[in-house]
A and B are shown apart, each in its own frame.
Chain A
């Protein structure tokens, strides 16, 4: 019986009904015992999910699929992916002797800190979604992140579930000699392109420095690539999506049709990762399909609020995410206003220069009537658009509430793009102003 653990569990139980159970118990736990994370006896299945984009969605899809397949599964579903959130999850789901009470734990882990938690969590599976340029002021250089993950997986004997179409991720397979490597990959489809203006990574072979050749790009630097000199990237995927049918929101792999729940290319990669995890556990992939059909996206992912006309809000964290959200917005028919909330708090990244790497010039189409720039760095966003020739369509309203009022009064369909800290405050405003 551990009194510190007991105290944390009690606090969690008390706070849970108030909705504040997410981080405080973990903060308390680590204050009482900084080494608590090393003490848990983990379940037989521990799936860690990391990468730049799609961590929360992918880990939630995996957790739901395991539950659907009959496993008692715990996961940090709200994306509390640092030490504190993970400690809260484990402390609130174990007995008084640190035995985690579950068949499986699915844990989203921040890609910058995963190297620290990796050994403590005794993973059986590590899923890596992708590596894009993201919050460089926080991350330093991508090279550093990849090397650190390579270092902790060097002696890993479990399953590595890797995006086989991202050269930054495939690199991990080169150094993880003892692991069981399972790639997922998506074949050529309607959105695949021979060339790209989106890729800022994946230009050279990490083994020999020779240029990588792409048969096609899906989005950003994700695509089918290989090095013609040493064969880097010539993979045999465990899961290959052979067909994507956007009209019917489905995709096919292993001769089986699955529902495509957001119906975008990046979400199909998330789904392929989920299917791969189930296969390595010898579970029926029907469970995954059932989840894809019923899954409700997390807050701020294509979330709709009923202002005078519908307003869709999306989180963006980096150029790749912003590009994909813009593709979605421009794919929606009819005239629209767009509102961009750009903050530069800790969780957003202090460096806003990434907006120059995203293709905001795509908003320069007649259907986009007005672009409202808001948030702490509203003027930086406005300048970005000004230099794309959108000067006449920009309004700067720094105050978020006034910006939402403007959208409401404009009486036109609208799309909000918000960085992490702006998302939460803006959703609160939208909740107040939306007609039920």
Chain B
């Protein structure tokens, strides 16, 4: 078995250690004998997104987001095709926002999103952001569990039809919103940095299963020793008292 990951705009949308997500996916595949290929692509590169099992896009500052969004919009047809052909998606922060209708930045500039989903994002002023540790009760692919991360976003995402989970501590999609991220059968979008996957190996494995499903159907993954991952998460859950 092999897994093909597209890590798009790795050179620009790589704020807050999001590259750790790619690293975790690779290592967790390789430990199970699944070859993992990570293609890094950026502005202007020719890509057929449906060639990949997993599409990963991280977050960036407003400036970087401004540089890539036209390139992303031009790829809309390729993205829709990949969705039809069951590619899985992991979208962090800026990636999350740009799959919605639009993003209005701190200066009031409106950046069009892909419009694939009905949610939209509006920023408040530069001095007010949702910042801090966050704990979420995630329900994903039939499993319910606690996840931890670090959120840092000015954008307030509204009109989210289905969230990734319930906020146990922190803000989520908007100030004190109670719900975090977006989730459907194929797409996981979230504001959780930290990065997300090292401390939340269950999410990493569910993503790998979703991605493998495209070409291999339902796959059972061999369990790994996650003692250290669990301890890292427990330290934070305990501190947040959730």
Contact = CB atoms under 8 A, between A and B. Distances in A.
Interface string A107-146: 0000000000000000000000000000011001111100
Interface string A360-400: 00000000000000001101101110111100000010000
A351 interface: yes
Given A141-B62, A143-B62, A351-B152, A384 B20 contact: yes
Interface stretch (B128-136, B182-190, B210-218): B128-136
Contacts of A141: 61-63
Interface residues on A, range: 20 to 34
Nearest to A142: B61
A380 B61 contact: no
A387 B198 contact: yes
B126 interface: yes
B15 interface: yes
B232 interface: yes
A82 to B, nearest CB: 17
A419 to B, nearest CB: 15
Given A379-B231, A379-B232, A383-B199, A353 B132 contact: no
B17 A380 contact: no
B1 interface: no
Given A351-B193, A353-B193, A383-B198, A203 B133 contact: no
A140 B195 contact: no
Contacts of B19: 356-357
Contacts of B20: 353, 356, 384, 387
B152 A387 contact: no
Q: Is the interface of A mostly helix, strand, loop or mixed?
A: helix
Given A137-B131, A142-B61, A353 B150 contact: yes
B36 to A, nearest CB: 13
A379 B194 CA distance: 13
Interface string B222-242: 000000110110010000000
Nearest to A133: B15
Given A137-B131, A144-B126, A350-B133, A355 B17 contact: yes
Interface in A57-107: none
Nearest to B194: A353
B199 A136 contact: no
Given A204-B67, A353-B193, A379-B228, 17 more contacts: A137-B131, A143-B62, A143-B63, A209-B67, A350-B132, A351-B16, A351-B150, A351-B152, A352-B150, A352-B194, A353-B18, A353-B150, A356-B20, A380-B199, A384-B20, A386-B228, A387-B24
16 contacts: A136-B16, A140-B126, A143-B63, A200-B14, A203-B12, A350-B131, A351-B131, A351-B194, A352-B194, A356-B195, A379-B228, A380-B199, A383-B199, A383-B232, A384-B20, A387-B20
Interface of A: 136-137, 140-144, 200, 203-204, 209, 350-357, 376-377, 379-380, 382-384, 386-389, 396
Which 4 pairs show the lowest CB-CB distances between chains A and B?
A: A356-B17, A353-B17, A379-B232, A356-B20
Interface of B: 11-12, 14-20, 23-24, 27, 61-63, 67, 126, 129, 131-133, 150, 152, 154, 193-195, 198-199, 228-229, 231-232, 235
